[in-house]
Amino acid sequence: MKSIILIGYMGAGKSTIGKILAEKKQIPFFDTDIGIEEKQGRKISEIFKEEGEEYFRRLETDMLKELKEQKQKQVIATGGGLPMKVENQELLKKIGVIFYLVVKKETILERLREDKSRPLLMGEEKEKKIEEMLRIRDPIYQSLADFCIYTDGKNIETVVNEIEKSLERNTDFG
């Protein structure tokens, strides 16, 4: 079986769902953002502030290259912007089966209302920024995904079960 990769916009629940899915499948869980923070010894917001977004995006690509070499079956939660680079898209496809956790703008706004840790959402007009990023990212997420899982109004267990059922129905990934 290949790794299970969760992509989607920030606040979609990739890390939360990924941890529970990994536990159920009894395989390791890996969050690319946490992996980068641990390797760099600083928060992503600091990396953005000190080095810029382009540097951070290179770190994401390096992280995917490492994951590809591990050849270990695991659940991987990616940062929201990671799938935007073509090189990253190719790496993700080689690493595993890709699930896009689809979430509406309103749900994202609610979940991230008090969150001050997201560099791309700093400042005013959070709703406008989310809308613009979703408009750009959604088609890429959809074209990359093996499966789209709609998460709005569903609890974590329901989403995890939908992912498991998708895997079971497709023996290529089982």
Q: What is the pLDDT of residues 145-154, one digit of tens each?
A: 999 999 998 9
pLDDT at 116 over 70: no
Q: What is the mean pLDDT of residues 29-54?
A: 94
Query: Domains of the chain: which residue ranges?
Result: 3-164
User: Looking at per-residue confidence, does 91 or 169 come out higher?
Assistant: 91
Find, among 65, 78, 71, 92, the residue nearest to 10 by Cα.
78
User: Looking at per-residue confidence, does 69 or 170 come out higher?
Assistant: 69
Distance CA 122, CA 163 (A): 32
Name the superfamily (CATH) of residues 3-164.
P-loop containing nucleotide triphosphate hydrolases (3.40.50.300)
Distance CA 164, CA 20 (A): 11
158: phi then psi, degrees, rounded to nearest 5: -65, -45
| Predicted confidence band of residue 108 (pLDDT cuts 50, 70, 90) | confident
